[in-house]
Structure 1
Amino acid sequence: MHKKMLVTVAAVALSTTLFAQTKPEDTEVWEPVPAVVTPGKINTDAPSDAIVLFDGKTLDQWVSVKDPSQPAAWKVSGGILTVDKNTGNIQTKRSFTNYQLHIEWRVPKNITGTGQGRGNSGLFLASTGPGDDGYELQVLDNYNNKTYVNGQAGSIYKQTAPLVNANKKPGEWQTYDVIWTAPKFNSDGSVQSPARVTVLFNGVLVQNNVALQGPTKYIGKASYEKPHGACPIKLQAHGDKSEPLSFRNIWIREL
């Protein structure tokens, strides 16, 4: 077969494959399953140059995603922030570019459900706007809960599985420590350098300076479809039926 014809056939095959991705399952990866490790104790105190995003008392640093002119309406009690699925997602008032972020989260001890329906939430490392949620670091109970590996806790959802499974038991506090490097774009909107992320999950490295393919997509491959600058950070009120998650001790250092 002629070389040009081979190239054309390959291009058509690739195009057909991309357009065939019309179901959520098309981008679910189940193997290899990350090994299980036991996390040790870590230091969680905010350093002196950190911006405290949640101090256990108020949600002054957060607003509603549905209407950013309105305050966030999740529940604050006993130093803990609990998801309220009725009021929807929340995001920071401020926008950030490059940063170090610390956040602690807890799945209820009596959690029920399986797979993605077991304590599902998400930390969006840069919330890029309506119709394009941003870059999601998955929050989920995967202590003894099988799901597709690029959708388990510690994954960059539907992109990169965690290096290991560092989940603690339901009812115990978990921690994410994140180093986020925002993407850069050329004047024509093309990508100059992709977003990169490093994540420690309960003190264990699970994402090692990973280059991202673009903002999260539930269906189809992630891609950079529009340039953006500094963005808020978002917490997700997922629509599953499991008990709501809680967060505490959220702080950030701009880099």
Structure 2
Amino acid sequence: MKQLLLTATLSVAALSTVCAQQTGKPEDTEVYTPVPPVVVPAATASAPPADAIILFNGKDLSQWVMTDDRNTPAKWKVAKGAFTVDKSTGNIETRRSFGSYQLHLEWRIPVNINGTGQGRGNSGVFLASTGKGDLGYELQILDSYQNSTYSNGMAGSIYKQHVPLANPTRRPGEWQTYDVVWLAPTFRPDGSLAAPARVTVLFNGVVVQNAAELAGPTQYIGQPSYQAHGPAPIKLQAHGDKSEPVSFRNIWVRPL
């Protein structure tokens, strides 16, 4: 009998909770503003949506400049709808600066790649370039198809900070895709950190970074830390290894 009474009491309590949650009208929880803007989607998964900024149109590098001299147009070579790293000239970055954004980028390791470890098609996408050289927040590019190296330096890693959740790298000679959601860090008026950067990365359609929180810009040696900055360019790296250079195509961005 006590068990039946306890069960009945719990049932009444549960029913009371449900009834309490159902008070009011459905309209009380319907929201009509703000109204999201209409964006015409792309015809294919990799094509840019209607509101995207095209950073490479397959023809020229008019949207890019040299990192170490932003008054100089990007010098990397364009051919057959793609462009290739020129290690003799240095890094390139976008003319425009961005805060938070959605980015699509495709890259390819040459089929005749040589070397091992980090010396095998090494490059990088700096999601926010914070100065000359290799300053910024780096999403690593590397041939990670059957190529052993340290895990936080393989393709899909946030270099020296976050190991990728998977390794979906295709063979050298095949095009790889990065789809990135970058939430830029924010800073208080006194320069202190208000909110750290976060990044989500799909690598060939596979989530390899899931809202990963960054401790600061990339550091090759030592621990990262933040220094206040505003919107920044997106940078591509001309890494100094001796392997064949990486190529890029179909790059677009949507500010968030």
* Category of TM-score, reference length = shorter chain: 0.7 to 0.9
Partner amino acid, structure 1, of 2:235: K
Q: 1:20 aligns to what?
A: none
Q: 106, 109, 118: which one pairs with 2:108? A: 106
**Residue 130 of structure 1: CA displacement?**
3.1
Aligned residue pair count: 213
Partner of 1:147: helix, strand, or coil? coil
**Aligned mates of 2:254, 2:113 — CA distance in 1:** 32
Q: 81, 85, 89: which one pairs with 1:83? A: 85
Deviations 1:93-144 (A, max 9, x none): 0000010000000000110100000000000000011366100000000001
Q: 2:178 aligns to what?
A: 176
- Following TM superposition, the consecutive aligned residue runs of length 4 or more in structure 1 with deviations greater than 3 angstroms are none
Superposition pairs for residues 70-149 of structure 1, below 5 Å?
70-130=72-132, 133-149=135-151
Percent of matched pairs sharing the same residue: 68
Partner of 2:128: helix, strand, or coil? coil
Partner amino acid, structure 2, of 1:174: Q
Q: 1:32 aligns to what?
A: none
**Residue 43 of structure 1: CA displacement?**
1.7
71-80 vs 184-193, greater mean Cα deviation: 184-193
Partner amino acid, structure 1, of 2:228: P
Q: 193, 214, 217: which one pairs with 2:216? A: 214
Partner of 2:65: helix, strand, or coil? strand
Alpha carbons of 1:98 and 1:200: their partners in 2 closer, same or farther (altered >3 Å)? same
Larger radius of gyration: 2
Contact 2:68/2:132 (8 A) holds in 1: no
Alpha carbons of 1:113 and 1:131: their partners in 2 closer, same or farther (altered >3 Å)? closer
Ranked by relative contact order (alpha carbons within 8 Å, sequence separation 6 or more), the top structure is 1
Asked whether 1:244 is paired with 2:250, we answer no
**Aligned mates of 1:78, 1:160 — CA distance in 2:** 34
Partner of 1:189: helix, strand, or coil? coil
Q: 2:29 aligns to what?
A: none
Contact 1:132/1:215 (8 A) holds in 2: no
Give the TM-score normalised by structure 1. 0.82
Q: 1:232 aligns to what?
A: 233
**Aligned mates of 1:183, 1:170 — CA distance in 2:** 34
Alpha-carbon RMSD: 1.0
Q: 2:156 aligns to what?
A: 154
Partner of 1:68: helix, strand, or coil? strand
Q: 1:25 aligns to what?
A: none
Partner of 2:70: helix, strand, or coil? coil
**Residue 190 of structure 1: CA displacement?**
1.1
Give the TM-score normalised by structure 2. 0.82
**Aligned mates of 1:221, 1:167 — CA distance in 2:** 28
Deviations 1:165-222 (A, max 9, x none): 0100000000000000000111221111000000000000000001100000000111
Superposition pairs for residues 40-51 of structure 1, below 5 Å?
43-51=45-53
